[in-house]
Structures are given as structure tokens and as C-alpha cells.
Chains A and B, each alone.
Chain A
Amino acid sequence: MKFAIQINSAPWAGEGCDTAYQFIRAALGLGHEIVRVFFYYEGAYHGMRRMSPPEDELPALRRWSELAAGQGIDLVVCISAAQRRGLLDQTEDGRAVKLEEEVAEGFRIAGLGLWVEACLKADRFLAFGG
């Protein structure tokens, strides 16, 4: 089965993103496909390269990059959600610059169209966190 996943909570808030991560691991383990993981609302705080939590909290952030590298999962942070939260450097005309430099390994920044596309491609859409 093909799953589209949406993550709505920040990495430090609640267990929504933990549950999502465990679900994805379990689904892949059973041979299912993850079409895309889309980070929206407070989920946009995921994958920001410059986050620097204490060393012992880092694994929770790095595991997404490891998932992308190991399983080829498409991790997409919503550009409008990230811009609202001041997570992207912007030029004077308001456009975000150098997006690939803002996000951690394995993440990319894109628009809501990719969320719709993932929903249309998947058999099931699941949202986690808030």
C-alpha cells in the first residue's frame, strides 16, 4: 500500500513526529511504500539545518536524514509554512534564497502542490501531530 504522510507538530512538541517515524519504519518493514512525508504547520520546524539542540537530543533530528538516505524517502518542508515562521532567509522582494542551504540532509523545500500530489498518488493519507 502507498502512504502519504503529513507531520504537523514541531520536533520538540509531543510524540506525533515520533509516532510518524515509527509508523513509517514499520510500514517500510512490511513492504509498503511511503510516497512522501510532508511537513506542515509547526512541522515546518523539522529539517532546519541550523537547529542546534543539546548533543543528546540530536538523534531525533538526524534520524529523518538517515531515513531519507537509507530508504530514499522524499522529505518535503512546506515553503509557505517555513516562510511564515521566519525559517528561510529572504531577499528584499520577499523571495526565499538558497533553499537547499537552509534544510538538513535529505530534506527539500517545496510548495503545497506536492502535498496534494502525494494525496492523489497514495492509497492512504495519514496526518500526525496536532
Chain B
Amino acid sequence: MKQFLFVMRRPPHEGIGVRESLDLLMTVAAFDQPVRLLFLDDGVFQLKSGQNPECLGAKPIVPLFSALEVYGIEELWVEEESLAQRGLRPESLILPTRGIKRGEVAGLVASADVVVAC
């Protein structure tokens, strides 16, 4: 059993990278390994409510994040400073998240056996 941590730092709708990262994440969960997800920097926009990518002909990403609970992935961490710097609040996000301060991020990363940047 290993603790996996996926760190999302990129904004949504920037190619297919996030979809492929979520495929990795769901495969880990399918192997019954504990998974945490951390949103940093522009990655916090992934969970922003009110996204309307259909007007660009893009596929919505939000349903994929909403499905994480089905896979038993419930630990979604959001760095509070990243949110605040972008004028967002926890209520701006589509899912309930756990806030973490910048100074605590290193500890969260250190507590994982496998860290995946995506």
C-alpha cells in the first residue's frame, strides 16, 4: 500500500493533459491505493464553478472531478494562498475541498510515497 499524491498546477482546458492525469489517478484508485489530490497555482481553476467550455467547443472537465468520489477519492486539498491570489474562495469551487496553507504543503508532499506532478 502506498500513499499517492497528485499535484495539479495547470489551468483547465489546456490540452488533454488533465484528462490523462485523471486517468492515472483513477487507475491508482482502482488498485485500492490511497490517493490525495492537491491544487496549486492556476490548478485551482480546475475546480472553479461556472465553467462553460462548450462555447469553445471543448469538453467539460468538471464531471471528471465530480466522479472522483465514486472512486473513493475524497481528499482534495487546495492551497489557500493560490485561491486568494486569484480572487477565489472555497465556495467558488464545485466540490468540497480541504484548505492547506503554503507553509504546510511541503509536509503534505513529504507524507506521500509517490508524488505525481500534473
Query: Which A residues fall within an 8 A CB radius of B?
Result: 40-41, 80-81, 84, 111-113, 115-117, 119-120, 125, 127
Q: State whether B20 touches A41 (Cβ < 8 A).
A: yes
Is the CB–CB distance between A119 and B2 below 8 Å? yes
| CB-based contact B27/A116 at 8 Å | yes
Mark interface residues in B1-41 (1 if CB within 8 Å of A CB, else 0): 01010000000000011001001100110010100000000
In this complex, which of A111, A117, A125 has the most chain B Cβ atoms within 10 angstroms of its Cβ?
A125
Contact A112 B24 (CB under 8 A): yes
Nearest CB in chain B: distance from A78 CB, A: 9
By DSSP majority rule, is chain B's interface helix, strand, loop, or mixed? mixed
* Cα-based distance from A127 to B7 in the complex (angstroms): 13
Closest to B117 in A: A127
Q: Which one of B4, B27, B116, B117 contacts A113 once the chains associate, using CB atoms below 8 Å?
A: B27
A115 and B24 form a contact (CB under 8 A): yes
* Nearest CB in chain B: distance from A42 CB, A: 9
- On chain B, the residues within 8 Å of A40 by CB distance are 20, 24
B114 on the interface (CB 8 Å rule)?
yes
Task: Say whether, besides A119-B114, A125-B114, A81 and B20 are in contact (CB < 8 Å).
Answer: yes
